[in-house]
Structure 1
Amino acid sequence: MASAGFLLLTLAVLNSIGSSQGYAFVEIHCKTQNIGQYEQESRLDCVIHYSERDVVDVEDPEIMVVIWRKEGVEEPVLKYNHGKLTSLPGYSFAEPSWNNKNVNVSLLIHKTAVKDEGVYTCYVFTNSGFNKNQTRLSVTAKYGVPTIQPQPQDIDLNTDGSLTCKSTGYPKGRLSWFDKDDNALLEQPEVEVLKTENGLFLLSSTLKIQGGSAFSQYTCKVFNARGDEEVEKSFNSAGSSQSEAFVKIHCKTQNIGQYEQESRLDCVIHYLEEVEDPEILVVIWSREGVEEPILKYENGKLTSLPGYLFAEPSWNNKNVNVSLLIHKTAVKDEGVYTCYVFTDSGYNINHTRLNVTGEL
């Protein structure tokens, strides 16, 4: 419903131009439907057309008022009123140097959000008549490459477990699981849909896997609201030949550490085929005889026992150097270490040994 201030402004302008003229001389041509990309600029095109309508030619037409309103928003998103221009943050005329002789009254939304979706009305009052028209903005956000979280982390072909696939976009799409031969699984798990703070949809699907009947590879595909596939992500089960085919860990077999000095266990990931933008999901360092991992990186979270960390100070999940650093080597640090690596294109493990020397 229009505000009282807007109604008063309308009456005042109509009175000044003569309501009998009304729609006779002014038309607004607007594009009916507009598609806006999330976080990009969106333009709602509207252009004024002056027409004779079998009366007299309009001489020197001048725009007195332009008002853009969005359905559900009480105040105008943009208002030009006799030389004064005001707007809500993020809205402006699409024409940078717009003036009251410019018939292009298109609206520009600078950083499109989901909340910008809806019906807009453009009101134009000139010195020869007035009119209004509506246009609609639909917002889309391309779904991101999904993440697949295995549970347990070292799930293999003989272990019961699950894979959780997640992706975010707009409007609401769906997730589907496929086997290694790109056949859709007969029993598709339910897709959980959550709305994020910024209005996007977070799709989540958890696939239960039964040990002994698992495939070596599962693919989660994301389909948009139109039913078109946008992106996909594959997960290779541990124990499958394909999983290890893409990832190798090259470690130095024997390492000598000096007592009470730093020791470094060198291990570097090698991708055997060209993988586009590979990402490390999990790195685990364990030592024989120690129950819990001495270092664990899991989906952005790094934990370690005191005195252990990555040898690379600014390590991140794109860094193939997963070497381990022991700060102050003790005799108890001697032994066999295992490095487990899980990436978005496969997994592998390797072993290395540390021998400690020096004056005790």
Structure 2
Amino acid sequence: MEMRTTQKTGIKTSLLGFGCMRLPQKDGAIDYAETERMLDAAYDAGVNYFDTAYVYHGGKSEGVMGSILKKHPRASFYVADKMPVWLPKTRDDLERIFNEQLERLGLEYIDFYLMHSMTVNNWSAVKRLDMLRFAEEKRAQGKIRYIGFSFHDTPELFREILDAYDWDFAQIQYNYLDEKGQRAGELCDMLEQRGLFTVVMEPVRGGDLAALPEVAAGPLRQTTPGRSLASWALRFVGSRPGVNVILSGMSDPEQVRDNLRTCSPFDPLDERERSALAQTVAELERIPHIACTGCRYCMPCPAGVDIPGNFDFYNGFQRFGPNPGRVRRWGMLDKKYDACIACGACLSKCPQHLAIPEELKRLAEVAAAL
């Protein structure tokens, strides 16, 4: 297993991290036996970074992960967990949630503790309740080792957050499709400049990059036959030297085996393979889509429409089909395309100069096909 370290923390982690957000299911609940086999296989192969969150699997992920890991020496693995910053309203809520996390995990301390899902609103919540001071107090008590955050917003907000605190690490979404389209490469650049421990989530973009349309998969299959599409996505991320951990939310044993093969040992992309990936991205870009970068400058919408969320769903549907997870996330949006009142408030804010009300109408075709 490829191992990596940074000067900031000095610790050594496996390149592959096990994300516990998409654990196998049975009868509507986490399949404990299958999950145990998968976590044990990863641990035995050298994986030592395991990631969960308070809200994963309806609050059940922490307990399952902690129960399985406790059979191993505590110093042999790292646990990452997250404060759901949008939930607590008072200092007492912070205490309650954190203590519940420790109880679920069955641990005395959490190695990597994150402010979960930093957006403009969530960052405001962190500041309002002084959550970083709370985390520092827990670190002084020996209950947290490293303080970081996971991120889902613009590079501009990312820089603001980085400059506001002496962070130990950060977790970002990064993959070969989002590197430029969602400006994810800029986030990596900022972390590398600061020498921060870097965790990458969604390297396979929620499974999209493991299920490419054939026109996009062709250049990869022709260049290196026999490699899985998922392995190309992990190798792209891992070929960036500033990346310490690639989180993969593995759902079945074959995904575990494939990811272990990719990272044991790790083989960086060569120039021929980078060229093939560029062709794949070009083919995906040729598929009709809305040229939204997810910058969210168009927000808030007076009618409450989550414009980037709708556009992201449309683009994913066009390129990769009706992925159940994507359809579910779209269904959870408060306001969809049909709530648009065509007021035009978004038009002057869009850096891409998109005709947003007209573009939203494209989603009617997708909705009719579901």
Q: TM-score range by the shorter chain?
A: under 0.3
Larger RCO: 1 or 2 (CA < 8 Å, sep 6+): 2
Q: Which has the larger radius of gyration?
A: 1
Q: What TM-score, normalized by structure 2, do the two folds share?
A: 0.24
